[in-house]
């Protein structure tokens, strides 16, 4: 099963970027996921290829036009519907194996002209979520990443300028997602983050090494600290318990460190974790 990703952006050359190397790059080459970077500007319908306009009501910046976005999203949905839902992409697919070094703007499977616009993207691809990356969105969580990674793929829409015309969200059932309380210059880095988080969870992408860690994070706790040789570095030593060989003691120490670090660094997570523990204890009674 190939996880299909389409990214709608004004900068397709930013993809696959860091996702073309290491684990994600190898998985892309192996057909475990596919990527289409779609140029939003290809869906403008005037001779200047205009994608943005001034905000209604005045103010600074520019707003991405709803009609252009809608055509780009419809195209992506249609493109996904035409791709077989499972199995490897053919060797001629936009990003596959040896193609990784090609100029990224050569990506994409077509333009608005080829597809012919029209229609709320539906058909078989109706289950593929469309997500706009925006600081106004719902914060991304590991739970949402898991849901996405378990699905057929995702269409990501990257904003620039002041943002999106609000009507696109209801008009095309677009979910708004933020990757943190920071403002990026566009949604592209956020899209890369979201994809990276999904791809590492795809079957066969990471070894068994990741599964335990995932569980501990979904426990609602930060992971315990790690050490490796040398035993002493600039006067700092590895905690003795980690050299004891007593696995029960090590597990207990790690659990305590996880809890302490979560409490100090992420009081928000800690409160939720404690609340969940209390609830499961009372439910067990």
Q: Name the residues that contact ligand ADE, by CB under 6 A.
A: 133-135, 178-180, 182-184, 187, 190
Q: Which is nearer to ligand ADE, 104 or 187 (CB)?
A: 187
Q: Least distance in Å: CB of 187 to ligand ADE?
A: 4
**Token output for 73:** 């999203």
> Which candidate, 68, 74, 64, 84, places its Cα nearest to that of 153?
84
Q: Is 117 annotated as belonging to a binding site?
A: no
Q: Least distance in Å: CB of 182 to ligand ADE?
A: 5
Q: Which is nearer to ligand ADE, 31 or 187 (CB)?
A: 187
Q: Name residue, tokens 């523990």.
A: 277
3-state helix, strand, coil in the chain (%, to 5): 45, 15, 40
Q: Which is nearer to ligand ADE, 60 or 284 (CB)?
A: 60
Q: Which is nearer to ligand ADE, 60 or 183 (CB)?
A: 183
Which runs of consecutive H residues, i.e. helices, occur in the chain? 22-29, 66-82, 112-115, 142-149, 167-171, 188-199, 209-218, 247-265, 267-284
Q: Least distance in Å: CB of 255 to ligand ADE?
A: 32
Q: Which is nearer to ligand ADE, 115 or 148 (CB)?
A: 148
- Angle between helix 188-199 and helix 22-29 axes, rounded to 10 deg: 70
112 with 68: CB under 8 angstroms? Answer: no
131 with 140: CB under 8 angstroms? Answer: no
Q: Least distance in Å: CB of 157 to ligand ADE?
A: 10
Q: How many CB atoms lie within 10 A of CB 254?
A: 17
Q: Least distance in Å: CB of 80 to ligand ADE?
A: 22
Burial class (CB in 10 A: 0-12, 13-18, 19+), 6: buried
Q: Give the annotated binding-site residues.
A: 159
Binding-site sequence positions for S-adenosyl-L-methionine: 159
């Amino acid at each position: 099963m190939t996880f299909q990703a389409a990214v709608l952006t004004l900068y397709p050359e930013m993809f696959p970027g860091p996702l073309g190397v290491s684990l994600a790059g190898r998985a892309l080459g192996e057909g475990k996921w596919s990527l289409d970077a779609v140029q939003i500007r290809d869906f403008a319908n005037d001779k200047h290829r205009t994608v943005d306009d001034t905000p209604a009501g005045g103010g600074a910046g520019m707003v991405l036009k709803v009609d252009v976005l809608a055509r780009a999203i419809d195209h992506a949905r249609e493109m996904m519907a035409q791709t077989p839902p499972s199995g490897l992409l053919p060797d001629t697919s936009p990003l596959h194996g040896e193609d990784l070094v090609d100029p990224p703007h050569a990506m994409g499977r077509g333009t608005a002209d080829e597809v012919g616009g029209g229609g709320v993207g539906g058909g078989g691809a109706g289950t593929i979520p469309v997500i706009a990356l925006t600081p106004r969105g719902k914060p991304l969580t590991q739970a949402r990443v898991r849901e996405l990674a378990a699905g057929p793929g995702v269409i990501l829409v990257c904003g620039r300028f002041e943002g999106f015309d609000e009507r696109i969200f209801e008009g095309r059932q677009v979910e708004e997602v933020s990757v943190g309380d920071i403002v990026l210059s566009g949604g592209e880095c956020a899209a890369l983050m979201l994809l990276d988080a999904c791809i590492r969870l795809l079957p066969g992408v990471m070894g068994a090494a990741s599964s335990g860690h995932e569980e501990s994070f979904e426990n609602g706790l930060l992971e315990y600290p790690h050490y490796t040789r040398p035993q002493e570095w600039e006067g700092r030593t590895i905690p003795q318990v980690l050299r004891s060989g007593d696995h029960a003691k090590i597990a207990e120490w790690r659990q305590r460190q996880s809890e302490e670090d979560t409490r100090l660094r992420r009081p928000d997570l800690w409160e939720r974790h404690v609340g969940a523990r209390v609830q499961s204890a009372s439910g067990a009674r």
